[in-house]
Amino acid sequence: MRERVALVTGAAGGIGGAMVRELAGRGWTTAALDLRPAPDAAYSVGVDVADPVQVTAVVRRIEREMGPIEAALCAAGHYALVPVSDIAWEDWIRMLRVHLGGLVNVCRAVTPGMAERGHGAVIGVASDLALAGGDAEAHYAAAKGAVIGLVRSLAAELAPAGVRVNAVAPGPTDTPLLPPDSPWRRPAFVQALPTGRLATAEEIALAAAYLVEDGTFCAGEVLSPNAGAVI
């Protein structure tokens, strides 16, 4: 039997990489889209997810060579701590194009096939900052909030066709996205979290894997492993 194919964007990053390893451990063949190589994936291709042409082309190639994509997990993203007065227009656009655009581009490429086959799972990666906002994180939070709006709307639109769209909304997570001097790594912040520790990429991947495999009645759900930062 051919293994099921999962597409993971941002697969060279902390959370995307953990998703690749979690799904591979569950018997999925993983195809990685990232600007950088993703060493743990079965297939890794350099793509800017903000570019719809690149995404469509590579999805077609993957489906031709590996088989239909049954799960798409969209973890590609970047982060910046900037006061709203200092957010340049180009940076605002880039934030939206990568986070929201990356999800839109992947969904436009993979969901028609999923709907035709009558099943499939898409996971958007939002953030607890989309639920609660954050100081000097306006463009990141806005992009992640838009991800949630898209996920819930797509979920309502595609569920009748058997395609389940859900999201994880990680809280402060111990990945390279958080630089060593990040305020989210300060002992005072971490100790004030109900769990007293940052989330791990593996936990976010477990939550995503649940939504892909076992969450058969979840659609439009936003699951937030966030160390108790946002309850």
Partner 1 sequence: MALALITGAGGGLGAAVARRLASCGHLVALNDRPDRPVGELAAELDGIAAPADVSDPGAVREMVEHVERRTGDHIGILVANAAYSTLSPFAEHDLDDWWRIVDVNLGGTFACAQAVMPGMVERGGGRMVLVSSEWGVTGRPDATAHSASKAGIIALAKSLGRELAPLGIAVNAIAPSLIDTRRLEVDAAAAGVTGEEVRARYAARVPLGRIAVPEEIAAAIAFLADDRLPALVGQILHVNGGTTRTRA
Residues carrying an active site annotation: 140
Phi and psi at residue 124, to the nearest 5°:
-90, 150
E-strand spans in the chain?
Answer: 5-9, 29-34, 43-46, 69-74, 120-125, 163-168, 222-223
Residues making contact with partner 1 (CB under 8 A) = 152-153, 155-156, 159-160, 162, 164, 171, 173, 193-200, 202-203, 206-207, 210, 214-221, 223-228, 231
What CA–CA distances, in Å, run from 220 to 36, 45, 124, 215? 30, 29, 10, 11
30 or 226: CB nearest partner 1: 226
CB of residue 157 vs partner 1: minimum separation in angstroms?
8
182 or 195: CB nearest partner 1: 195
**Cβ neighbours, 10 Å, residue 85:** 7
CB of residue 222 vs partner 1: minimum separation in angstroms?
8
Contact (CB, 8 A) for 128 and 84: no
83 or 196: CB nearest partner 1: 196
CB of residue 122 vs partner 1: minimum separation in angstroms?
13
